[in-house]
Chains A and B, each alone.
Chain A
């Protein structure tokens, strides 16, 4: 694979946008244009419409224009309130997703459609949660564990169970800041309450409430989502796949799986392997069924089954434009409602499945979890029947795709690390090798690159530029969500990409046999990153905020991304944003986010829309944290290296 091919951003967007123009189809780029310049008040977060006295818009400039809303709320309050509500929305999305998975586990049975695939993970969780496992049926254990998880959403007392997994100093910080989340839904409700007209009017307090709610996502909803998905569908292991719209097959039934929840997509994967279903595809003249994933559901099935990745968030319309998609099957989150008009221009069936996300004009076939496989089969059948309706003259598949190796769960990463453990020194199954290369400086640090696409930024450009810069500087990259798919499309998740890395990272990639950019899954799987960082911190006896680790959302757009950013910060990891959040209207809030937060959590926000500046800032910050960590480790560990000034031997030896 040539280097240019590996990282070139596809012209495919361009080609397909032109195709849309030629065919008179409206895409998001047309709508973006129609939007003209965005409203400056909303952009800066100083517009409030939470009561009927408003909408109010206050001046983003202190001392000029309207300074308070009708109720007297200042720009600081309005900005912080809007931000908090974004966090609440993001947290609710991840949590409702997790709740469904927990429900699915509660209905899992030995002879049902949903079974327990990773018993070991279930048993260790049972042990963690003090559920008796002795002599019990694994399904009884599963149901009890699921019930405990379901209670995490609304339990009346105590705090979230997974908080215990954090390093000790982090837990102490949470306790002292009083931001330990109690129950997931409760935190979301509290935000909606506190941000109601006439409630909290203190920006710092709102930020803290926001962090508490965000933590209920990262260490609550998302973590439950990931852990339970692994137990039900298997913990991902490294596997090969391909990414980009070039994975679509002209002679096959192409089904796009788009959305988030694996309880649907897993069943679709099973259904597509059913001999009868395959036979049906042959009967309609297709050579087979080609599943291709998009956004996070795509990530879930590629991590566990190697299902090919069609593309990320911005390619949902483009995929339809190829004219070869028989069906776009969606559940919840990040689904463009424009898929209705755009699929109308082609033969493509737009099938919604969740009562939580109905879309006017789409074909709604409700996914019935009780009869999951049957339900999935009937959805797939719809797609197959649609193959004959393809309009030949509209077919155009851009021939671009790249190889990717992914499936890097924390467990898979530790297994890879075991390869470099010397059996005469250390036990297997720990993060020590990772901690060692970071301590020694072979790896300068690690970056979690996550998040969406955003029309304010050239598609995937920031993701890729930042990843290239970091790996070239010996910073290992872990990635999830649409950022991970950008990496996969650009070839950065192939082992081949090690040649783009600095010598240190290259050496690590070779020894451990991994790509320089590790695809760790979907957006809820950012909880995997929290786990990995936390375990490494614990191993070194430090806190997350002491590690040279950064989190980056170069092209973020959703409220989920806002929740993620806030729980990452609250977990002690700096967050770099490539898109300005709507907070710039309050100097005080900006100061808190980009400055004062550090005193509270040991981490803060960095904002810059230029990916090159942003990555330079990350490298600086990583070195800054390294210097402190090295000084600290040097003091705590007596290394057996004598300094020249202490011992003249060194020089004498030379004579």
Chain B
């Protein structure tokens, strides 16, 4: 098992998927067709942060494919492996952007897909004050809904902002987890690539709050590593694509904690098979300290419930 080769395989899959989808989109809509995420001033935020270039048409995305290719250098070194992870992030952003180019509303409730600038700005203050102590990105599938709900509710009770990607969304619904921005649980989408919408949040934090110039990728990575207390929980069998996306997360400074046996990298890529310990393991890995002591009342109690309206039948 060669971890780096798995990452490169995943990055190449993402690249060819992006290339294929782009070709198809151009055939359907032409090269001048507009590419835009709704309500953001940062174009395609990841590509913008990395290159300083704004993408406006499908033709521009052909250039972005070049960026992806340049990031995939298959050498057995961490640096190249992390770059390949970033390449997957860029591929995913291309794929997601094409979704928005082909369809005005590619995401339906409960999935949020792209997150707007306004939402990010509203999250900025609680993130800085520590009111939101961390950002959990939970993706994949738990062995059962109960386990999924337990993990998510744990984060919720600690005031973390949790993004869900993949089957875990259905599991959360099945287990009656209350979701929504005000409850700090946001389902993004079912495709792995929709994870990019949370990466986009982190990157825009760097652009907006960090004032880091677009094009200075290394500085953006410094910012996300030091200032955005995010981490990833990847559940269920991991595909090469997920592993390579995980490398992207690690490049941004976000540790990945999984329930699968993987070649571990201390503090960055960890295996935790005990689901009860997933939150504690994750918080320790990201060095997140919860400010307020948990109050031992039977329902989850935290800022995440502030916006919750108690419905009559509850």
- Which residues of A approach B to under 8 Å, CB–CB? 417, 420-425, 433, 436-437, 439-442, 444, 473-474, 502-504, 507, 511, 623, 626, 630, 633-634, 637-644, 647, 649-651, 653-655
Contacts and interface: CB of A to CB of B under 8 A. Distances in A.
Nearest to B190: A653
Contacts of A650: 10, 13, 239-242
Contact of B78 (A420, A436, A507, A653): A507
B2 A630 contact: yes
Given A424-B284, A425-B270, A640-B260, A655 B277 contact: no
27 contacts: A420-B267, A424-B272, A424-B284, A425-B281, A433-B266, A436-B263, A436-B265, A437-B266, A503-B78, A503-B79, A504-B77, A507-B78, A511-B266, A623-B76, A634-B2, A638-B261, A639-B262, A640-B237, A640-B262, A641-B240, A641-B243, A644-B13, A644-B240, A650-B10, A653-B241, A654-B241, A655-B17
Contacts of A647: 237, 239
Given A441-B3, A647-B239, A650-B13, 17 more contacts: A417-B266, A420-B267, A425-B281, A440-B264, A442-B78, A503-B82, A504-B79, A511-B266, A639-B1, A641-B1, A643-B9, A644-B13, A650-B240, A650-B242, A654-B17, A654-B191, A654-B193
The 5 closest A-B pairs by CB, nearest first: A640-B260, A504-B78, A503-B79, A634-B1, A650-B239
Given A441-B2, A502-B78, A504-B78, A436 B266 contact: yes
Contact of A641 (B193, B259, B260): B260
Contact of A440 (B260, B263, B281): B263
A637 B264 CA distance: 12
Contact of A441 (B21, B76, B270): B76
A218 to B, nearest CB: 29
Nearest to A507: B78
Nearest to B279: A424
Contacts of A423: 284
Interface string B1-20: 11110100110011001000
A507 B253 CA distance: 11
Contacts of B259: 640
Contacts of B281: 422, 424-425
A648 to B, nearest CB: 10
B264 A436 contact: yes
Contacts of A511: 266-267
A425 B259 CA distance: 12
A647 B192 CA distance: 15
A423 B21 CA distance: 44
B285 interface: yes
Contacts of A640: 237-238, 258-262
Contacts of A502: 77-79
B73 interface: no
A625 to B, nearest CB: 13
B125 interface: no
B256 to A, nearest CB: 12
B269 interface: yes
Nearest to B236: A640
Nearest to A438: B263
Interface in B205-245: 237-243
A650 B81 CA distance: 19
- Which of B2, B82, B242, B285 has the most C-beta atoms of chain A within 10 angstroms of its own C-beta? B2
Contacts of B265: 436-437, 440, 442
B162 interface: no
A327 B239 CA distance: 67
Interface of B: 1-4, 6, 9-10, 13-14, 17, 21, 76-79, 81-82, 95, 191-193, 237-243, 258-272, 277, 280-281, 284-285
Contacts of B270: 422, 425
Contacts of A422: 266-267, 270, 272, 281, 284-285
A653 B77 contact: no
Contacts of B14: 654
A440 B266 CA distance: 10
A444 B242 CA distance: 23
Contacts of B81: 441
A473 B77 contact: yes
Nearest to A440: B263
Given A437-B266, A650-B13, A654-B192, A425 B78 contact: no
A193 to B, nearest CB: 49
A421 B266 CA distance: 7
A503 B237 CA distance: 28
Contact of B239 (A473, A474, A644): A644
Given A639-B261, A641-B238, A653-B191, A424 B266 contact: no
Nearest to A420: B266
Contacts of B191: 653-655
Contacts of A654: 13-14, 17, 21, 95, 191-193, 241
Contact of B17 (A473, A642, A651): A651
Contacts of B1: 630, 633-634, 637, 639, 641
A654 B19 CA distance: 11
A258 B39 CA distance: 72
Given A424-B284, A639-B1, A649-B239, A440 B269 contact: yes
A433 B285 CA distance: 14
B197 to A, nearest CB: 15
A425 B271 contact: yes
A436 B262 CA distance: 10
A296 to B, nearest CB: 33
B258 A643 contact: no
Contacts of A503: 77-79, 82
Contacts of A436: 263-266
B77 A474 contact: yes
Nearest to A423: B284
A441 B243 contact: no
Nearest to B265: A440
A443 to B, nearest CB: 9
A441 B272 contact: no
Given A422-B285, A641-B6, A444 B263 contact: no
Contacts of A420: 266-267
A390 to B, nearest CB: 52
B179 to A, nearest CB: 22
B167 to A, nearest CB: 11
A122 B10 CA distance: 51
- Which of B9, B237, B265, B267 has the most C-beta atoms of chain A within 10 angstroms of its own C-beta? B265
- Which of B258, B266, B268 has the most C-beta atoms of chain A within 10 angstroms of its own C-beta? B266
A511 B242 CA distance: 24
Contacts of B4: 441
Nearest to B241: A650
A420 B193 CA distance: 30
A28 to B, nearest CB: 41
Contacts of B268: 507
B262 A641 contact: yes
A473 B21 CA distance: 37
- Which of A442, A444, A626, A634 has the most C-beta atoms of chain B within 10 angstroms of its own C-beta? A442
Nearest to A444: B76
Given A422-B267, A425-B281, A654-B14, A643 B78 contact: no
B47 to A, nearest CB: 18
A50 to B, nearest CB: 49
Contacts of A655: 17, 191
A539 to B, nearest CB: 13
Nearest to B91: A654
Contacts of B193: 653-654
Contacts of B242: 650
A439 B277 contact: no
A639 B77 CA distance: 20
B13 to A, nearest CB: 6
B9 A644 contact: yes
Contact of B261 (A424, A507, A637): A637
- Which of B10, B13, B263 has the most C-beta atoms of chain A within 10 angstroms of its own C-beta? B263
A506 B31 CA distance: 43
